[in-house]
């Protein structure tokens, strides 16, 4: 049993923290939302008054925050984690953020002699609830071994991607593939429709041919071929278009920083920017097929 501080208990963080409680750990949590703090208390998490109170005596400190600016302020700000720690816990940020911020926060932690992992996840809210997330982890070998058991309590796969920031690098590279492949599959199914080729037949053929990919076989953007895909429930998310846009922007930011050519990533980012306007931001990202059909 370990003492764990968990900061940021939104759609992902709360079920992750609950899984740590279920695994027998003592979890002290903090979120800015009072409503979330109430729900956390009902689920066996000790609701703390602020970040500083939550991290006192912790052996592990985890965060699951919206974006880089929140991570910077919660970890590095006045009254933030690094300013409030009393021991030498292992630090783990599970948020999806830019590689640069991730490496900077880890470097600042190292200046205080603290180990830090970046451990963004794949698997969405369903995976967080079921404890079946995939963690992509950046940090030293020693820190990874120290954190493995805690992460395993919340996920089915925990993969060491290399040094600091490499977890974030893996996450944005993976999601850039996902955004591009969803667009490719959507274009192909719309073209098939217009050519008079039935969606089920295209699926039957392509899912056993060289065009097969996860966006088609697990998450098909047309209703029918994959009963569990959001296309069968009016594109209710799932993984929202706004989240996909966020990750594609992070990929573009990273590509620019290292001067790597990502012409399709750039195009995908632009198309999701158009699609994820207000009314579509909360729709599943596979709903982009509707925009392509209308183009
Ligand atoms: P969310 O907005 O539901 O939760 C974030 C929580 O952080 C909120 O409850 C907010 O109140 C809290 N917060 C913000 N600033 C804070 C502060 N200063 N102190 C304490 N709490 C603070 O977001 P989410 O869907 O849980 O996503 C969290 C992260 O996980 C994001 O980086 C996202 O990209 C990533 N992610 C999300 C999904 C998904 O399907 N939702 C999937 C994979 C990765």
Q: What is the pLDDT along the chain (295 residues), one digit of tens a residue?
A: 999 999 999 999 999 999 999 999 999 999 999 999 999 999 999 999 999 999 999 999 999 999 999 999 999 999 999 999 999 999 999 999 999 999 999 999 999 999 999 999 998 888 999 999 999 999 999 999 999 999 999 999 999 999 999 999 999 999 999 999 999 999 999 999 999 999 999 999 999 999 999 999 999 999 999 999 999 999 998 899 999 999 999 999 999 999 999 999 999 999 999 999 988 999 999 999 999 999 8
What is the domain count for the chain?
Answer: 2
Name the residue of 7, 9, 10 whose CB sits within 8 Å of the most ligand 1 atoms, as the mutation to test its pocket: 10
Query: Which residue range forms the structural domain that includes residue 255?
Result: 169-294
Going from the Cα of 199 to the center of ligand 1, the distance in angstroms, rounded, reads 36
Structure tokens belonging to residue 282: 């909360």
Atom of ligand 1 nearest to the CA of 240: 40
> Ramachandran region of residue 189, left (φ > 0), alpha (ψ -120 to 50) or beta?
alpha
Residue 156 to residue 128: CA distance in whole angstroms: 10
User: For atom 4 of ligand 1, which residue has the closest CA?
Assistant: 10
Ligand 1: which residues within 6 Å by Cβ? Answer: 7-13, 30-33, 36, 64-66, 70, 73-74, 95-96, 121, 124-125, 239, 243, 246
- Do 193 and 64 share a structural domain? no
Task: Answer yes or no: do 8 and 130 share one domain.
Answer: yes
Is residue 22 part of the annotated active site? The answer reads: no
3-state helix, strand, coil in the chain (%, to 5): 55, 15, 30
Residues 197 and 156 in one domain: no
Residue 116, Cβ neighbours under 10 Å: how many?
28
* 189 shares a domain with 227: yes
């Amino acid at each position: 049993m370990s003492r764990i501080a968990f900061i940021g208990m939104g759609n992902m963080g709360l079920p992750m923290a609950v899984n740590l409680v279920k695994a027998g750990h003592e979890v002290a949590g903090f979120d800015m939302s009072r409503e979330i703090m109430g729900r956390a208390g009902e689920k066996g998490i000790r609701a703390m008054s602020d970040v500083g109170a939550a991290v006192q005596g912790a052996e592990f400190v985890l965060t699951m925050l919206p974006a880089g600016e929140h991570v910077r302020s919660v970890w590095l700000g006045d009254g933030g984690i690094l300013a409030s720690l009393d021991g030498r816990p292992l630090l783990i940020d599970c948020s999806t953020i830019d590689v640069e911020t991730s490496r900077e926060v880890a470097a600042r932690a190292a200046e205080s002699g603290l180990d830090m992992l970046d451990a963004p996840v794949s698997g969405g809210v369903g995976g967080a609830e079921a404890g079946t997330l995939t963690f992509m982890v950046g940090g030293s070998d020693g820190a990874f071994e120290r954190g493995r058991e805690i992460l395993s309590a919340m996920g089915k796969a925990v993969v060491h991607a290399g040094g600091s920031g490499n977890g974030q690098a893996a996450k944005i590279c993976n999601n850039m593939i996902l955004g591009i492949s969803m667009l490719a599959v959507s274009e192909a199914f719309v073209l098939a429709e217009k050519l008079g080729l039935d969606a089920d037949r295209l699926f039957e053929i392509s899912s056993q041919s060289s065009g097969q990919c996860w966006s088609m076989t697990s998450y098909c953007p047309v209703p029918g071929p994959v009963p569990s895909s959001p296309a069968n429930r009016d594109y209710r998310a799932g993984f929202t278009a706004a989240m996909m846009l966020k990750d594609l922007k992070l990929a573009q930011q990273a590509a620019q920083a290292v001067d790597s050519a990502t012409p399709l990533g750039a195009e995908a980012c632009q198309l999701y920017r158009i699609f994820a306007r207000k009314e579509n931001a909360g729709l599943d990202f596979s709903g982009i097929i509707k925009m392509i059909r209308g183009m």
